[in-house]
């Protein structure tokens, strides 16, 4: 008597390659600028106005490098922050004075009719971001997000993306659980082999022999 049974089981695992790639990309976006800043002193600053046209325009991304204030010279473009609003601005140096060990740095936007009224007082050993290049239009998303309407839309899109991500994760989890349940059911069916008439008769014959 030969009892033959066959079972084909296939375990379906969630496909994680896309999620892994997205995680790596997000990690790179967050860490690369930090590494450039900490190791090489390289930074990025979005241009918020057209005060420096034609050198660069609003929406461009300024590439900067940290340098000692004592090395700056007239004609360099540096990134400063307004004393009242603390907003960053990038203007060209038009004059540098040294009073009692403090540098007075006068700047002006190339497109502005006059120099900035605020003269930056800087320690000669302080590090300031000096422009070393720019990427046209690369800073437009940041410029847009600084506006009220842009901030609202960005917040809505962020919430929407998070919601879709959660729904996607729940869908894949449900699919994986269902697949695991089906595999377990297939294995159980395989182990439970129905008894044929031949098997039943053989069992009854053995029982009759022992009874006699």
Q: What digits encode the pLDDT tens for the residues 127-161?
A: 999 999 998 988 776 555 555 444 555 566 667 77
Q: What digits encode the pLDDT tens for the residues 2-22?
A: 444 444 444 444 455 666 666
pLDDT > 50? residue 210: yes
Rounded mean pLDDT, 76-103: 91
| CATH code where residue 98 lies | 2.10.109.10
Count the domains in the chain. Answer: 1
What pLDDT is recorded for position 88? 85
User: What pLDDT band is residue 79 in, cutting at 50, 70 and 90?
Assistant: very high
Residue 13 lies in a domain: no
Q: Quote the CA–CA distance of 136 and 19 in Å, as a whole number.
A: 31
Structural domain harbouring 79: 38-146
pLDDT > 60? residue 199: no
Residue 63 lies in a domain: yes
- Give the percent of the chain with pLDDT over 90: 31
Residue 32 lies in a domain: no
H helices present in the chain, as ranges: 17-35, 140-145, 148-191, 197-211
Rounded mean pLDDT, 116-120: 92
Classify each residue of 96-109 as buried b or exposed e, where b means 16 or more C-beta atoms within 10 Å of its C-beta.
beeeeeebebbbbb
Q: pTM of this prediction? A: 0.55
Tokens found for residue 108 = 């002006």
Tokens found for residue 9 = 């089981």
Residue 86 lies in a domain: yes
Residue 50 lies in a domain: yes
Which one of 22-36, 66-80, 131-145 scores highest in mean pLDDT? Answer: 66-80
| Of the listed ranges 46-50, 85-89, 140-144, the one predicted with least confidence | 140-144
Q: Quote the CA–CA distance of 94 and 169 in Å, as a whole number.
A: 56
Residue 19 lies in a domain: no
Q: Quote the CA–CA distance of 5 and 196 in Å, as a whole number.
A: 13
Residue 183 lies in a domain: no
Residue 1 lies in a domain: no
48, 46, 51: which is closest to 114 by C-alpha? 51
What pLDDT is recorded for position 64? 92
């Amino acid at each position: 008597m030969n009892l033959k049974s066959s079972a084909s089981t296939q375990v379906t695992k969630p496909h994680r390659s896309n999620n892994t790639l997205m995680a790596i990309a997000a990690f790179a976006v967050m860490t690369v600028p930090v590494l450039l800043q900490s190791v090489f002193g390289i930074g990025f600053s979005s241009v918020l106005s057209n005060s420096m046209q034609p050198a660069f325009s609003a929406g461009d991304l300024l590439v900067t490098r940290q340098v000692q204030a004592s090395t700056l010279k007239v004609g360099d473009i540096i990134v400063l922050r307004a004393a009242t609003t603390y907003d960053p601005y990038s203007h060209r140096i038009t004059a540098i004075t040294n009073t009692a060990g403090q540098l007075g740095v006068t700047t002006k936007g190339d497109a502005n009719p006059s120099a900035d009224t605020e003269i930056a007082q800087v320690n000669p050993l302080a590090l300031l971001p000096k422009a070393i290049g720019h990427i046209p239009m690369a800073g437009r998303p940041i410029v847009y997000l600084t506006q009220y309407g842009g901030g609202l839309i960005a917040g809505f899109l962020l919430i929407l993306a998070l919601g879709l991500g959660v729904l996607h994760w729940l869908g894949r989890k449900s699919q994986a659980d269902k697949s695991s349940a089906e595999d377990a059911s297939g294995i159980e069916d395989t182990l439970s082999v129905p008894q044929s008439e031949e098997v039943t008769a053989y069992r009854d014959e053995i029982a009759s022999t022992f009874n006699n």
